[in-house]
Structure 1
Amino acid sequence: MVKKNDYMTAGLTDRSDAPLNPENGREKGQRKKTIGERVKGTIFGLIPILHWLPNYPWKEWIHGDVIAGLTVGIMHVPQGMAYASLASVPPVVGMYSSFFTAFVYMFFGTARHISIGVFAVASMMVGACRMRLTPNRDEFGRVINGTEPGSLGDVGPLELTSALAMGVGITQLAMGVFRLGFLTTYLSDPLVSGFTTGSAAHVFMSQLNKVFGVKLPRHEGIGMLVFMMKDIVLSLPKTNFVVFGISIFGLVFLHIGREFVNPWVKKFSKIPVPLELILVIIAVVASWAMGLAPNYHVKIVDNIPRGFPAPTIPRLDLLPHLVGDAVPIAIVCYMFVVSMGKLFAKKHKYTIDSTQEFIATGLMHTFASLFPVYPVGASLSRSAVCEMSGAHTMLYVVFSSTLLLTVILFLGPFLEPLPMCILACIVIISLKSLFEQAKILPYLWKVSRLDFAVWLISCLATTFTDVTTGLIISIVFTLMTVVLREQWPKHASEKPAPNGHSSHSIPIDDCSDDIRVYHFQCPLHFVNVTIFTDAVNDLVADEEVHSVIVDCSMIAYTDSMGLDAFKDLYQDAEKIGKNVYYAALNESIISILKSVDFFKKVPEDHFTSTTQQAIEVILAKKKLVNSPKLSISN
């Protein structure tokens, strides 16, 4: 067990949080860094492994990284094959994709517990692109998986996916170079949750034909899932019941294992039972022994080349045709990496660099595109197992990649009898956690109706269009909600109650009934200034009200129209013998008021530091006006 102090001195904390060393000139007030030091800092920032590997506490952490690496490596094999089928590429391509990208990410990434490799959502987006631009053909050259408009002729599927990986890498590198990581802040949790749930519906539907053992045409665009469901229903009489029986066995096996066996095993060991691998072994043995392919027309993997693919330059001439797919896939892949990375970083008390993650994912895709791969991200299930198995750093990738490489080089042909329906079962069972995200809806309804709407729109838009269109609609709607939150802010007024019993606890012992406190809980600008002025004017117009105090503590900033509103409200109230005060305005706005000589138009004593002070000023003026001495002198 590594103590906190050991953890920090191991050099594995985020550099911004690491203790400063006076001897190397990093403390505030020390000498400026030399050019060499700055170059070294830049290199270490670009390649984080140089920062943590030399200080790696081998005795304390190597055991956890080895166990986690081997466990994740075992999961990579069946999931790589399963998700490759979802991407409409040969099963071995899924293993290639996970191997090359994870190894490169280890050098450049800042997250420590995520499993880089193929995952369902990106695989499906790649599959849609691949089938649209390079459709399958029969022996007569006819398209057998849908229509052909927009296809790229004789371009091979792997040429396309490698070029797509290059396009994704270039997109992510560009966003990292221009430091556009902040844009991901608009990908809110409800958006990501709703989008991935809708994407899971597409993934699920795309696997049903393999479960029933039937061939179906592919559909695109609005309502594609409805057409797919129609095709499934119409094809039920053609079901291959041997395939269906194998699928039921696979689904039940994985479900029981996940829901009952692994929770029981977890009581005794951090390492879960490799259910997918066991299922694959059982299915391979049964398929070989019973001759499922020739005797029962069960579709199998059939061909897994043994050996390492030779590197080739991807088809750069394809990039202009892939921009529309590369950008959303790049965002989705990055989104999964960062969201999973932040989840575990928060749990283990370290930070990740969002901009560096763009660089890391961009470099891993750019390098991997030299081989037959397709774009990847972080897997939810494998990342959870990785963290649970005791991983400490990305060094675990060395051991998972070694196991994966062994399968690629030597064991591939032994997996050729594997029924494709077993891969579909692995994909379908992995979707459970995505569908369970719908459980958050009651919570969102209670907390924020707009967040509820974001989740629902993101899910429905993705479900009833396609994944790329759904992501665009989700982002646009989320941006609209930002405007709506600003345009319709929360605001309320109240009487200051004696003895501090108001909802905002104004500790005044002697409050007059003709004072109102107005709370505006949002920045003030041209979008919502009308709501602000109307509400204050309504209070001023009330015959029972003499003074209105605007609580500005939630007004983080304002624009020129907001300043005009401050002035107009005061002057309009003054004309009818009433007062408007502004309380708790922040210093940045006060400095703006001073710079434009605002206090020549509105007295400075109408701006107070607290609502309590404003009430005291009002009451003091009332006592002064109503004092007998003042009445006689008048």
Structure 2
Amino acid sequence: MSNNLPSIKIERPLYEYQKLREDLNYEKTKKPYKFCKNVTCKKIITSTIPAIGWIPKYEKTFVLGDLAAGFTIAVMHIPQGMAYALLANLPPVNGIYMAIFPVLMYFFLGTSKHASIGTFSIAAVMTGKAVLEYSDSETSPSQVAAILTLAVATIQLIMCFLRLGIVSTLLSDVLVNAFTAATACQIVVTQVKDLIGLTIPKVSGNFLAIRTLMKIFENIGDFNVAATLISVISIAILVVSNEYLKPIIAKRTTIPIPSELFVVVLGVLTSQYIDLPNKYHIKTVGHIPSGLPEPSLPPISLFPSVALDGLSLAIVCYVTSMSIELILAHKANYEIDPNQELMAMGVSNVVGSLFSCMPISASLSRSTVQLVVGGKTQIVSIFSASILIVTLLSIGPFFEPLPRSVLASIIVVALKGMLMQMKQIITFWKLSKVDSTVWIGTFLTVVFVGSEIGLLVGISLSLCSVFILSLKPDTSLLGNVPNTDLYLDIDRFKKAKEINGIKIFHYCGGINFATKNMFRDELYKMIDLNAQKELLLRAKLKKLQEQFEKNKDGKLTEKMNRNESKINKCIKYLIVDFSSVTYLDPSGAEMLRSEFNNFKKLDISFYIAGCSDRVYNTFERCGLISKDENYLRIFSSIHDAVQCALFNLGAEENQAEKSNKIEEMELAELV
């Protein structure tokens, strides 16, 4: 097929970079000063409250889809909210509050049409750690969760003000994968006690999983058979529904089976009619107040204590939500504003803190269902919240007899996807040993130490991996494919040949204070240049020439010719390919100046080819560019540099031939 492709023939002048700028009317771009330019009151309001912009454009055809999605999401919120509130060591009703008050604020401020905001397993377990640590006789668990939520809100709003939406890039896919998988393991360990109806002392602080397992094994003889049986039945129903029934029904309808709600209702009815708490000592959800809570300020005095926990939670919740929202936005073809999302989550958490909520995040399972069922806009949140308000006002106490083992079963089954992420370590290991090191380090630290420290370790390892990879630049020697302007790695492309007297060194990466010595070492290694040997050889030749001028000795002429032939095999022109150099700092530029002078002493011309405009500007600022021969020559491409070198080599050969003829004539006259 390649034989049918047309050939390319181009005629143009040979360009040094400065000449290229002059001939093609180069002009530095000026970034416009945008602050307060063309900004109207309407734009400020609609950008701050996006709902004002899209609500007037809402189409009536969306109502049925949004209503169906709202009902489905409300049904999912009830069991998930109660289960994750239990995971956070909070009253189960708090999880339902999270699906109402913060969600209503996100409706006005958020930019995602399909994000289902509310409880999230990882946020719940991180909140639960803080609740155990700071709650006491004076401060209730709900108050600790509320002040933690306020801390998260404060941090997210500060990040929004500083426009730090880019912070989501700090957490790589590898890190997030390891963190979520490890947190899932930690959650499963914390749920074992409820799955088997065991009562153990509360465990808080670091090494939570290990200490919890130790307590479980110490008290394993006291497990409750009835609670264990309830857990087994609940898990079996959920697994059969998720693995077998849901895929079959999904082929016929988009409305999913509310298996979690079914298990909850079944657990409530069984507990109520068999009287499980009294007959079999089953722990239940307990009192659920009917109606809506009154807003109250959290204990501000506790803010400094939970600030560090709030920082890690703010980042985790934001990054998780952004990851989910970007996936859904890509599927539905619309845009997400990262900084506006920070504001939306921050304000939503402020409101949530007034109603004893823990920090909110988007849920992948609920958000995916919202999209699949037919939800088109965030009106889904209004419908969902309305249904939940009616539920709390009317049938809230109905859930009081629910066994805690049922909620623990829901949590464990819901974590299957996160637990299965552990298998991806095999893929990461095959693709990159550096990435797999980040995964293993993050996973082990989260599981055996704690979520916050694990997150910090993961971020540190990720940044270190980036730094290490930047210190391993890609270098090669390039050769020319005959009769073309292609220059390829001579080790990989056997038809690419080096040009006599010319070495072309390719470098990929940044050249800065940390990598400048590596650049120099790689350069000398690749071109196989022994500077000391070259200097001695040229000094010897110069001395012979001086003696010849005095004595006109034939033996000296012979020695000169031998040394000259050795030097002719050496490099005359060194071309450094800068097309893949991403950054050059003043330290790197100073190193290049020094190397330019060193090669000049060796009578080797040092050319740079194909640098970016940004790098060229650094050369200018550092005073390395001038029309004077004592400065660097920079060409627009490798081919331009090679053609210039070949032209100069031809001129040098002609001059050498003339000199040889003159010497021969002088020797003939002497004879």
1:112 equivalent in structure 2: 113
1:496, 1:516 within 8 Å by CA — same for their partners in 2? no
- For 1:218 and 1:497, locate their aligned partners in 2 and report how far apart those are by CA, in whole Å: 72
Cα displacement (A) at 1:588: 2.0
- For 1:520 and 1:67, locate their aligned partners in 2 and report how far apart those are by CA, in whole Å: 58
Q: 1:555 aligned to 565, 581, 585, which one?
A: 581
Q: 2:516 aligned to 529, 532, 535, which one?
A: 529
Q: How many residues align?
A: 585
2:488 equivalent in structure 1: 502
Q: 2:526 aligned to 534, 539, 563, which one?
A: 539
2:468 equivalent in structure 1: 484
Q: Find out whether 1:618 has 2:638 as its counterpart.
A: no
**Match of 1:452, as an amino acid?**
S
Cα displacement (A) at 1:247: 0.5
- Alignment partner of 1:530: what SS? helix
Cα displacement (A) at 1:581: 2.3
- Between 305-314 and 228-237, report the one with greater CA deviation: 228-237
The equivalences for 1:252-271 within 5 A come to 252-271=236-255
2:546 equivalent in structure 1: none
Cα displacement (A) at 1:441: 2.6
Bigger Rg, which one: 2
Q: Find out whether 1:441 has 2:443 as its counterpart.
A: no
2:128 equivalent in structure 1: 127
Cα displacement (A) at 1:503: 4.3
1:405 equivalent in structure 2: 389
Per-residue CA deviations over 1:460-509 (Å, capped at 9, x if unaligned) read 21111111111122222222223222223333334445465834999998
| TM-score, length of structure 2 as denominator length | 0.82
Q: Find out whether 1:431 has 2:415 as its counterpart.
A: yes
1:518, 1:550 within 8 Å by CA — same for their partners in 2? yes
- Alignment partner of 1:203: what SS? helix
2:27 equivalent in structure 1: none
Give the direction of change, closer, same or farther, for the CA distance of 1:603–1:304 in structure 2 (3 Å limit). Answer: same
1:586 equivalent in structure 2: 612
Give the direction of change, closer, same or farther, for the CA distance of 1:33–1:228 in structure 2 (3 Å limit). Answer: closer
- For 1:520 and 1:249, locate their aligned partners in 2 and report how far apart those are by CA, in whole Å: 62
**Match of 2:417, as an amino acid?**
S
2:512, 2:588 within 8 Å by CA — same for their partners in 1? yes
Q: Find out whether 1:250 has 2:230 as its counterpart.
A: no
Give the direction of change, closer, same or farther, for the CA distance of 1:443–1:579 in structure 2 (3 Å limit). Answer: farther
The equivalences for 1:294-443 within 5 A come to 294-443=278-427
2:596, 2:632 within 8 Å by CA — same for their partners in 1? no
- For 1:468 and 1:398, locate their aligned partners in 2 and report how far apart those are by CA, in whole Å: 34
2:156 equivalent in structure 1: 172
2:148, 2:358 within 8 Å by CA — same for their partners in 1? yes
- For 2:588 and 2:150, locate their aligned partners in 1 and report how far apart those are by CA, in whole Å: 48
- Alignment partner of 1:192: what SS? helix
- Alignment partner of 1:555: what SS? strand
- For 2:377 and 2:293, locate their aligned partners in 1 and report how far apart those are by CA, in whole Å: 28
Give the direction of change, closer, same or farther, for the CA distance of 1:323–1:223 in structure 2 (3 Å limit). Answer: closer
Give the direction of change, closer, same or farther, for the CA distance of 1:259–1:518 in structure 2 (3 Å limit). Answer: farther
- Between 155-164 and 89-98, report the one with greater CA deviation: 155-164
Compute the RMSD of aligned alpha carbons: 2.5
1:216 equivalent in structure 2: 200
- For 1:83 and 1:450, locate their aligned partners in 2 and report how far apart those are by CA, in whole Å: 34
- Between 265-274 and 212-221, report the one with greater CA deviation: 212-221
Q: Find out whether 1:606 has 2:592 as its counterpart.
A: no
Q: 1:292 aligned to 276, 279, 287, which one?
A: 276
Q: 1:205 aligned to 189, 198, 209, which one?
A: 189
2:55 equivalent in structure 1: 53
Cα displacement (A) at 1:275: 0.9
1:516, 1:539 within 8 Å by CA — same for their partners in 2? no
- For 2:88 and 2:435, locate their aligned partners in 1 and report how far apart those are by CA, in whole Å: 31
- For 2:647 and 2:237, locate their aligned partners in 1 and report how far apart those are by CA, in whole Å: 79
1:148 equivalent in structure 2: none
Give the direction of change, closer, same or farther, for the CA distance of 1:436–1:527 in structure 2 (3 Å limit). Answer: same
Per-residue CA deviations over 1:246-268 (Å, capped at 9, x if unaligned) read 11111111111111111111111
Per-residue CA deviations over 1:446-470 (Å, capped at 9, x if unaligned) read 4433322222222121111111111
Cα displacement (A) at 1:513: 5.1
- Alignment partner of 2:580: what SS? coil
Q: 1:565 aligned to 577, 591, 609, which one?
A: 591
- For 2:41 and 2:247, locate their aligned partners in 1 and report how far apart those are by CA, in whole Å: 49
1:160 equivalent in structure 2: 144
Q: 1:517 aligned to 504, 507, 523, which one?
A: 504
Gaps of 5+ in 1: 1-31, 136-152
Give the direction of change, closer, same or farther, for the CA distance of 1:605–1:247 in structure 2 (3 Å limit). Answer: same
Give the direction of change, closer, same or farther, for the CA distance of 1:102–1:606 in structure 2 (3 Å limit). Answer: same
**Match of 1:615, as an amino acid?**
V
2:533 equivalent in structure 1: none
- For 2:630 and 2:426, locate their aligned partners in 1 and report how far apart those are by CA, in whole Å: 49
- For 1:389 and 1:551, locate their aligned partners in 2 and report how far apart those are by CA, in whole Å: 55
- For 1:261 and 1:50, locate their aligned partners in 2 and report how far apart those are by CA, in whole Å: 41
Cα displacement (A) at 1:164: 1.8
- Between 500-509 and 45-54, report the one with greater CA deviation: 500-509
Cα displacement (A) at 1:52: 0.7
- Between 47-56 and 171-180, report the one with greater CA deviation: 171-180
Cα displacement (A) at 1:295: 0.6
Per-residue CA deviations over 1:183-224 (Å, capped at 9, x if unaligned) read 222122212221111111111111010011101234345533
- Alignment partner of 1:554: what SS? strand
Q: 2:257 aligned to 270, 273, 293, which one?
A: 273
- Between 546-555 and 358-367, report the one with greater CA deviation: 546-555
Identity of paired residues, percent? 30
- For 1:501 and 1:178, locate their aligned partners in 2 and report how far apart those are by CA, in whole Å: 45
Give the direction of change, closer, same or farther, for the CA distance of 1:479–1:220 in structure 2 (3 Å limit). Answer: farther
**Match of 1:352, as an amino acid?**
I
1:8 equivalent in structure 2: none
- For 1:74 and 1:89, locate their aligned partners in 2 and report how far apart those are by CA, in whole Å: 20
Give the direction of change, closer, same or farther, for the CA distance of 1:508–1:272 in structure 2 (3 Å limit). Answer: same
2:267 equivalent in structure 1: 283
- For 2:390 and 2:140, locate their aligned partners in 1 and report how far apart those are by CA, in whole Å: 27
| TM-score, length of structure 1 as denominator length | 0.87
- For 1:545 and 1:222, locate their aligned partners in 2 and report how far apart those are by CA, in whole Å: 64
- For 2:605 and 2:420, locate their aligned partners in 1 and report how far apart those are by CA, in whole Å: 55
- Between 76-85 and 64-73, report the one with greater CA deviation: 64-73
- For 1:33 and 1:199, locate their aligned partners in 2 and report how far apart those are by CA, in whole Å: 43
